[in-house]
Amino acid sequence: MDILRRGRLLADGYSPAELRRNVRIGALVALRRGVYVDPAAMLQPPEVRHALAVRAAWPALVSDAVISHASAAALFGLPLWGVPLDRVHVTRVRTHGGRVDPRLHVHSARLAADEIVVLDGIALTSPPRTVVDLARSLPFEEAVSIADAALHQRLVLPEELADALERAARRPGSAAARRVVAFADARSESPGESRSRVRMRRWGLPAPVLQMPIPTRLGVSYGEFDGLVKYGRLLRPGQDAGQAVFEEKRREDAIRDEDWRVTRWTWPDLEPFEGVARRIERSFRR
């Protein structure tokens, strides 16, 4: 999704009055002064919309600003379930001078040269530094979702997170970050799986074996958490939702034929998790 800047639009022949009119009628959406996007961008996931806001803000930032925290995670394509995305986050290499305004959160911190990368012309904190910064500052569940995704996408390796933790040892929240990194698992494929792992731990349930293969008469099946995704945008060509539901039932029956029990839950069941926990406990007893 492209950013449309006022200068380029004027050079293409649009007048200032046309731009104002297009914003007024909804043909353009103004991300900030002089920066626009197509209205379809507003239908994208929050992380994508925030990445657009970061790209829109970047040219106006001071030269020593480095995109960081949730804003860096958005540019890396990480899921940001439950993370506030109302401000662009930047870090400036100084010991003081942090501030928060309606659109910008400025952090002050030391950044080593290898903790800064450039992506599409934008300077941002490296993936290990980004994950650890968020693990220091976010609640456990939200931070685990990000750390899991970074490991799963191979944006970071476990040893890189260990090094980033070592560098952050004296910073606020370092103990929380260690707990997040110790719990993170590259096998977790979605925020739903990450959140489920956290909830199961809080209820004292055994840790799940992620992506465990289960041979059945229909082939190998895997436990997963994907909400209603498979019944929507991930349907195979020519497949409708009804067919997907039918095939899912066949797979579930085949799993039961191998003497496994199946417990299903969706996003609304995660909060509160008590009902799911009780069902899992009953399955264990049976």
Reported as a single tens digit per residue, the pLDDT across 272-285 is: 899 999 999 998 88
The reported pLDDT for the residue numbered 266 is 87
- Note whether 93 and 177 are same-domain residues: yes
DSSP string covering 233-256: TTPPTT--HHHHHHHHHHHHHHHH
Q: Which structural domain range is residue 179 located in?
A: 46-186
- Note whether 154 and 86 are same-domain residues: yes
In a domain, residue 260? The reply is yes
In a domain, residue 193? The reply is no
Side-chain-side CA neighbours of 183 within 13 Å: the count stands at 27
- Note whether 179 and 249 are same-domain residues: no
* Residue 259 neighbours by CB under 8 Å, 6+ apart: none
- Note whether 234 and 132 are same-domain residues: no
Side-chain-side CA neighbours of 260 within 13 Å: the count stands at 17
- Note whether 177 and 227 are same-domain residues: no
- Note whether 122 and 179 are same-domain residues: yes
In a domain, residue 192? The reply is no
CB 222 within 8 A of CB 214: yes
Reported as a single tens digit per residue, the pLDDT across 62-116 is: 889 999 999 999 999 999 999 999 999 999 988 777 889 989 999 999 999 999 9
- Note whether 105 and 149 are same-domain residues: yes
**How far out from the chain centre does Cα 201 lie?**
21
Reported as a single tens digit per residue, the pLDDT across 29-65 is: 999 889 999 999 989 999 999 999 999 999 999 889 9
- Note whether 55 and 175 are same-domain residues: yes
- Note whether 252 and 148 are same-domain residues: no
- Note whether 36 and 164 are same-domain residues: no
